[in-house]
Amino acid sequence: STTLAEDVTTAEEAHRILLELADSVTARMRADGARAACIGIQIRSRDFKNRSHQKKLEQPTDITAEIFPLCRRLFDELWDGRTPLRLLGVSLTQLSHGESDQLTFFADQSREKARRVDTVVDALRGRFGAGVIRRGTVVAPAKREKNKGQAGE
């Protein structure tokens, strides 16, 4: 979780922060060889009232692209859209260790691709530092405009 220097007043801001949190916690979980079967989020208003919401998964995961959309949905169900927020948190619980996946007749190619992306991101951050790469929706719109026209765009 993170206590914010300024109130979060829009869902877009909150989603950006939740992505950073989900990305961070899933990376730590992957480093430990763990997967979560329950995802939770916590919010705290400026008057220090806490609320939380969680959901159990059908299959444990360590994939950021699976965890973040659920965090976003849980947040949208929990927050009233008006109350300024001072804290946002993501929790991954009911952890299991090991590489075992439930076997299916049809391999989910998008899941394997997302797992490979996470592996590459983790490796880059491990080698060059946490700030070397960020997920696209984490970069604020104003910063994206400022960077427009630079190499790679």
Going residue by residue through the chain (153 aa), what tens digit of pLDDT does each one get?
Answer: 999 999 999 999 999 999 999 999 999 999 899 999 999 999 999 999 999 999 999 999 999 999 999 999 999 999 999 999 999 999 999 999 976 555 555 556 777 787 777 777 777 777 777 776 676 664 455 444 444 444 443
Name the pTM for this structure. Answer: 0.74
Give the helix/strand (H/E) hosting 69. Answer: helix 64-78
* 25 Ramachandran zone, left/alpha/beta (phi>0; psi -120 to 50): alpha
